[in-house]
Structure 1
Amino acid sequence: MVRYLIQLAKTSSEPHDATSSELRIREQILDLDHDENIAEWYLLNVNRKGQVPAMTVEGAVAPITDSLDISFWLCDMFPQLLPPQHEATIRRLLRDLHAIEGISITIRRREGPEEDLIDPCVDNMLARDDIGPEYRQALEVKKIFDDSHVPKASHHTNVDRAEQQTATLLAEVARLYEQHGQGTWLLGGADAGPTLLDAQIVPFVSRVEDAGRARLVPEVLLRYTAARRASPAWDVVMGGKGTIGRKEYGPVRDMYDMSAGVPPTTLFIPRWAKGAGLSV
């Protein structure tokens, strides 16, 4: 969601001149298959929950460790992505979207919680005797979070709840889309440009489809999402891959090769934006 928002900001930014502020974003992949999300530097300095995405900002007190918070931060830089006339609606819909448990809408429905969903990587690391006390404490916090959260998410009652929440949310988004004319974007035609709602709904609907739950998505939103996935902005983010990893995709670093000194993405901030002038 965040990477797609960055691409939409890049393509919808106002023309800039020599006085425009710059926002430079350097991306770094964390390979969860190789436990990079529980590396000592990440747990202690970036996100104690060991989750992605997270964003560090030069001069900020702490990293931003929630995708929606990161998105709102970016919208401060690019207010056209959160237009005032739609802001209340977008915030309400996205609050409802992020109340949906991502695991529950992704995995298959099970009759009971299953402990085998918990990755043993944290336990394996805690079994070592060569880690420091601060890192051990961070791993123990991560273990408590995983043990209390992951198994319950697979229970059929939570899966059913997530499906109902998804169907209700997407039905309302579809009504909005139809109300605004079913143009290029959810809240208007090509002239209106994309908003944060587009940046979140396209990846979300794609995940719901990839999880075999397209029945929850109104037909009009399936067509809209398919059109957006055919765009260059989506291809930059996903490179033709789905939102759920598959063995045929190969290693994560092959999917998103950022190891060859890829320069940071540079976006030009409108001078009238709330965040203009910040050092990022």
Structure 2
Amino acid sequence: MDDIISVYCTLYCYPFSLYSIMVKYLIRLIERSAKSHDGASRALKIRERLLDLQHDENIAEWYILDVNRKGQVPTMAIKGDRSRITDSLDIAYWLCDMFPNLLPRQYEAIIRRLLRDLHDIEGISITIRRRDGPEEDLIDPCVDDMLARDDISPEYRQALEAKKIFDDSHVPKASHHVNVDRAEQQTAALLAEIADLYEQHGGSNWLLGDEAGPTVLDAQIVPFVTRVEDAGRARLAPETLLRYAAARRASPDWDVVMGGKSTIWRKEYGQVCDTYDMSADLPPPVTLFVPRPSSGLV
């Protein structure tokens, strides 16, 4: 193991963020098969750093200036690299570059198209209840509260103003019934297509069959179907896909990610900071051994 280079990363995430869950589940699926250092070129050490979005830690000065200017999660930070990967799908493809079995070449085109269609669906619209019109109550007033202060730096103020512009223009629209209806239509069409694909490959443990094994498509569809169910919209998913997702949630992999909880925060869970260890030093990192690139053509 002396010649294996360690790459240290921090995944900034929130326990009930759909896109954080997608990345965390993908890492868990990789972990199942990347524990051996035999033939490895690198050891990817990923430490999870939970952000307390209930107390607006995502717009804390240290986060919005040094980690993610959009004040969103998830974000992957690589030690020694000032750049940040601030989009969940980009994080997924970054991991696929190191673990190509997640994106089998023969299925790459269709996986990329399906994931593009998935991320075209507005996550807020598929999560919240249908409303008759845009409502402002989904916008967190914390940004306005921070901007009202006269003791913040010009750079921090500029970042908060950009965050406010995005939230004010985006969040109310996402709650409008027109956009909720559109998201439901997109979801139903996408999940119907994926269900057909699943059945074509035998309706086994994984969407593309057991021979392909878990791919990045599985890692994103299981959390998404679960979110659709948790939001009371199970009618949008074909029964075969609901059974597939339920089987995957019955595995220890899902329990590691969600610990038996819904993908949507519920009042009975209490404050996130009281339920989870929010320390920057814990838990220990997950180590994924990155295989050496194959010298032959597949």
TM over 0.5: yes
SS in 1 for 2:287: strand
Separation (CA, whole Å) in 2 of partners of 1:182 and 1:244 = 28
| 1:209-229 per-position Cα deviation (integer Å, ceiling 9, x unaligned) | 000000000000000000000
Q: For the structure 1 residues 82 and 172, does the alpha-carbon distance in structure 2 shift closer, same or farther, using more than 3 Å as the test? A: same
Q: For the structure 1 residues 170 and 19, does the alpha-carbon distance in structure 2 shift closer, same or farther, using more than 3 Å as the test? A: closer
| 1:84-141 per-position Cα deviation (integer Å, ceiling 9, x unaligned) | 0111110000000000000100111111110111110100111111111110111000
Per-residue deviation, 1:19: 5.2
Separation (CA, whole Å) in 2 of partners of 1:196 and 1:273 = 20
Name the aligned partner's letter for residue 220 of structure 1.
T
Aligned to 1:170: 191
Q: Contact conserved, 1:185 with 1:198, CA < 8 A, in 2?
A: yes
Separation (CA, whole Å) in 2 of partners of 1:51 and 1:92 = 24
Aligned to 2:4: none
Separation (CA, whole Å) in 1 of partners of 2:145 and 2:162 = 15
Separation (CA, whole Å) in 1 of partners of 2:275 and 2:197 = 34
Per-residue deviation, 1:258: 5.0
| 1:160-204 per-position Cα deviation (integer Å, ceiling 9, x unaligned) | 100000000000000000000011100012x43100000000000
Q: Contact conserved, 2:40 with 2:291, CA < 8 A, in 1?
A: no
Q: For the structure 1 residues 174 and 31, does the alpha-carbon distance in structure 2 shift closer, same or farther, using more than 3 Å as the test? A: same
TM-score by length of 2: 0.88
Q: Contact conserved, 2:28 with 2:253, CA < 8 A, in 1?
A: yes
Separation (CA, whole Å) in 2 of partners of 1:108 and 1:148 = 19
Separation (CA, whole Å) in 2 of partners of 1:157 and 1:33 = 28
Q: Contact conserved, 1:76 with 1:273, CA < 8 A, in 2?
A: no
Match for 1:198 among 194, 198, 218? 218
Name the aligned partner's letter for residue 155 of structure 1.
H
Aligned to 1:160: 181
Match for 1:216 among 236, 247, 251? 236
SS in 1 for 2:151: coil
Q: Contact conserved, 2:40 with 2:290, CA < 8 A, in 1?
A: no
TM-score by length of 1: 0.94
Q: Report sequence identity in percent.
A: 76
Q: Is 2:52 the counterpart of 1:31? A: yes
Q: Is 2:277 the counterpart of 1:253? A: no
Q: Contact conserved, 1:29 with 1:253, CA < 8 A, in 2?
A: no
Equivalent residues in 2 for 1:1-280, closer than 5 Å: 1-13=22-34, 15-17=36-38, 20-189=41-210, 191-257=211-277, 259=279, 261-272=282-293
Name the aligned partner's letter for residue 192 of structure 1.
A
CA RMSD in angstroms comes to 1.6
Name the aligned partner's letter for residue 132 of structure 2.
E
SS in 2 for 1:116: helix
Q: Post-superposition, which runs of at least 4 consecutive aligned residues in structure 1 deviate over 4 A?
A: none
Separation (CA, whole Å) in 2 of partners of 1:15 and 1:264 = 16
Separation (CA, whole Å) in 1 of partners of 2:39 and 2:290 = 11
Q: Contact conserved, 1:38 with 1:50, CA < 8 A, in 2?
A: yes
Per-residue deviation, 1:12: 2.6
Q: Contact conserved, 1:79 with 1:273, CA < 8 A, in 2?
A: no
Per-residue deviation, 1:254: 4.3
Aligned to 1:278: none
Q: Contact conserved, 1:115 with 1:151, CA < 8 A, in 2?
A: yes
SS in 2 for 1:24: strand
Per-residue deviation, 1:262: 1.8
Higher strand share: 2
Bigger CA drift: 244-253 or 9-18?
9-18
Separation (CA, whole Å) in 1 of partners of 2:292 and 2:189 = 39
SS in 1 for 2:289: strand
Q: Contact conserved, 1:12 with 1:193, CA < 8 A, in 2?
A: no
Structure 2: give runs of 5+ residues left out of the alignment: 1-21
Separation (CA, whole Å) in 2 of partners of 1:6 and 1:150 = 29
Q: For the structure 1 residues 9 and 65, does the alpha-carbon distance in structure 2 shift closer, same or farther, using more than 3 Å as the test? A: same
How many aligned positions are there? 273
Per-residue deviation, 1:61: 4.4
Per-residue deviation, 1:16: 2.8
